[in-house]
Amino acid sequence: MDVLLVGLGRWGEKHLRVLRELGATVWVADVVPERLDRAVAQGVDPAHAVADYRVALAHVAAADIVTPADSHAALAGACLAAGLHCFVEKPITATLAEGRALETTAARAGRVVQVGHIFRFHPVTATLRQALQAGRIGAVRCATGRFSGFKRPRTDVGVTQSDAIHYFDLFAHLFECQATTVMALQRDYLGRGLDDMSLTIVHYGDIPTVIEANYFVPGTYRDCVIVGERGSLVADYGASRVTLYSGELRQTGDSWEALDTGKEELEARGEEPLRRELQSFLDACAGKAPNAVPASAGVSALAVVEAAARAARLGRTVTL
């Protein structure tokens, strides 16, 4: 399949590698000449490396958009108007209104718009889903997620929209339930007009979750804990590890006991998540499989982002 990759930043270069490994004929577009030169050095046909993405629209069947969030709506809209399928990195758009408009445009065009919520394709997520569906920890009581670490802040959106959003989508996917209420605390310590620390409490039906994101904590944390009535699942996305802790609290007369019945390491192995994600997009474009992460999923995650901002500003719970 002929695919136009728009954006050759750090993450866009990874997309280029994977698309070529998957056998796609890749056109690349970027306004930075040095990035185009690197793509050509990696094997892209020089005639397929362009500064203006519109030059390539008539030559490809799909577009892979890996650019700042505030450009997603315009780029995806132009690609859909040209008849292309679109992969759009998360967040689907900069605002919820833009996301809903893009979802409508995609439906009217009859084209695939897949959103880059990559955690859905991680082997850790597959292991968590299998354990939850098998009832290994019983009914889920609560969950926590952490996407934190000392790193360069993004300049297009705040940390809730760039990082916490991973868990907003992941928990909806794992619990098969959309968010219902949101509470949040957000801070702009760097004075950029964008949040750089956030704590968000999101209810998925009866399941409360607490999601932490910031740019300040030393190290790198991509983990979550899902607590059930008979144990907990502790997942580390960075280490591709899932541990099942079995145990429960039991009452005997007027006292309670914590009964620890052991732990089990669950296998979490599989292909590179980005490879699985982009293969699913190519399969959906070819009609071989359904769209794994449709525009509606990106819109739902973005709805939580905007509800969190509103909740933090107002100091109260927001209902979705």
pLDDT 10s digits, 244-289: 999 989 998 999 999 999 999 999 999 999 999 999 999 999 999 9
Give the pLDDT band (50/70/90) at residue 202: very high
Beta sheet of 197-204, edge-to-edge order? 255-266, 241-252, 231-236, 220-228, 140-149, 207-214, 197-204, 181-187, 318-319
- Peptide bond before residue 91 is cis, with ω within 30 degrees of 0: yes
User: Of 118, 153, 173, which residue is a domain's last?
Assistant: 118
pLDDT 10s digits, 5-29: 999 999 999 999 999 999 999 999 9
User: Of 75, 93, 118, which residue is a domain's last?
Assistant: 118
Q: Whole-angstrom Cα distance, residue 173 to residue 103?
A: 19
228 and 163 in a common domain: yes
Q: Whole-angstrom Cα distance, residue 73 to residue 253?
A: 61
Token pair for 6: 């728009």
Give the pLDDT band (50/70/90) at residue 51: very high
In a domain, 163, yes or no: yes
250 and 201 in a common domain: yes
In a domain, 283, yes or no: no
Q: What is the largest CA-CA distance in the chain?
A: 78
In a domain, 227, yes or no: yes
In a domain, 188, yes or no: yes
24 and 131 in a common domain: no
pLDDT 10s digits, 88-112: 999 999 999 999 999 999 999 999 9
This prediction has a pTM of: 0.96
Are the CB atoms for 74 and 101 separated by under 8 Å?
A: no
Mean pLDDT of the chain: 97
Q: Whole-angstrom Cα distance, residue 263 to residue 285?
A: 42
What is the percent of the chain with per-residue pLDDT over 70, rounded to a whole number? 100
CATH code: domain of residue 14: 3.40.50.720
112 and 29 in a common domain: yes
55 and 104 in a common domain: yes
Q: Whole-angstrom Cα distance, residue 57 to residue 166?
A: 30
Closest C-alpha to 214, from 156, 273, 274, 145 = 145
Which is it for strands 220-228 and 231-236: parallel, antiparallel or unpaired? antiparallel
Rounded to 5 degrees, what are φ and ψ at 31?
-85, -5
In a domain, 162, yes or no: yes
pLDDT for residue 94: 97
Give counts: helices (H), strands (E), the chain. 9, 15
168 and 94 in a common domain: no
240 and 218 in a common domain: yes
pLDDT for residue 164: 98
Are the CB atoms for 319 and 119 separated by under 8 Å?
A: no
What is the percent of the chain with per-residue pLDDT over 90, rounded to a whole number? 98
How many domains does one find in the chain? 2
Give the pLDDT band (50/70/90) at residue 153: very high
pLDDT for residue 90: 97
User: Of 118, 135, 160, which residue is a domain's last?
Assistant: 118
Concatenating the DSSP letter of every residue in 234-273 gives EEETTTTEEEEEEEEEEEETTEEEEEEEEEEEEP---S-H
179 and 131 in a common domain: yes
261 and 223 in a common domain: yes
Q: Which domain holds residue 182?
A: 120-273+302-319
In a domain, 278, yes or no: no
203 and 76 in a common domain: no
166 and 311 in a common domain: yes
Rounded to 5 degrees, what are φ and ψ at 287?
75, 15
pLDDT 10s digits, 291-302: 999 999 999 999
pLDDT for residue 137: 98
CATH code: domain of residue 229: 3.30.360.10
Which amino acid, 191?
A: G
Q: Whole-angstrom Cα distance, residue 62 to residue 290?
A: 16
236 and 124 in a common domain: yes
